[in-house]
Amino acid sequence: MEYRKLGNTSLQPAITVVLAGARNADQAIANAKAMEIA
């Protein structure tokens, strides 16, 4: 992601998308661990 092209007004939505992606990744990892245990 190229932050240089983003102004202050477009930066917040980008951060929100990144955080949402991180939550989805954490959930995917949790699901994978649950499968390993089962």
Q: Which residue has the tokens 């661990």?
A: 33
Over residues 1-38, the pLDDT tens digits come to 555 555 556 677 778 888 888 899 999 999 999 988 76
Domain residue ranges in the chain: 7-36
Residue 9: left if φ>0, alpha if ψ -120 to 50, beta else—which one?
A: alpha
pTM value is 0.48
Residue 1 in contact with residue 14, Cβ under 8 Å?
yes
